[in-house]
Amino acid sequence: MIFATDDKLTVATERNSSEVGRAHGIYVNSTFDGSDLHLLMSLVFTNKEYNGSTLEIQGADKFYQKYREVSVVSGTGIFRLARGYATLETVYLDIPNSNAIIRWNVTVFHY
C-alpha cells in the first residue's frame, strides 16, 4: 500500500494556521503487520523566507507511536547539502480517513 501526499505545511497545528509550504511524497506500508511506514518526502517551502527551497526526508515512520524520528538526508536552494533529523509528534490521527496532524521539529545543518 502506498499513500501519496500533497499536505499543507503550516506554522502551527491549528487548522487555520498559515501555510508555509507543502509536504510532497509517499508513505509505503513497509511491514507485514502494518506497524511501520517508510516515509519519503520533500518539504517544499513557499513562504517568503525559504520560497522554492526544499528539505528531503527519509525514514522509518512508526506512525502508531506518538513520537518518532526520521532523517533529513539533503535539501535544495538555501538548504543545499542539508543534513539533520526531524522528530514527529502525532497531534491528531484518524486512520479510517487517512487524516492526521503531525508536529515536526526539524534540526538541520546547511551551508
Single residue of 87, 92, 107, 109 touching ligand NAG by CB under 6 A = 87
- For the bound state, the minimum distance from the C-beta of residue 111 to ligand NAG, rounded and expressed in Å, comes to 22
Single residue of 8, 67, 80, 107 touching ligand NAG by CB under 6 A = 67
16 touches 36 (CB < 8 A): no
Q: Which of 73, 77 has the CB closer to ligand NAG?
A: 77
Q: Which of 64, 109 has the CB closer to ligand NAG?
A: 64
Identify the CA nearest to 100 among candidates 50, 60, 61: 61
Single residue of 29, 42, 58, 76 touching ligand NAG by CB under 6 A = 29
Residue type, 35: S
Residue 62, all three cell numbers: 512508526
- Choose the stretch contacting ligand NAG; rule: CB under 6 A; options: 44-52, 53-61, 75-83: 44-52
Judged by the rule CB under 6 A, the positions of this chain that interact with ligand NAG are 1, 14, 16-18, 29, 34, 47-48, 51-52, 67, 87, 89, 105
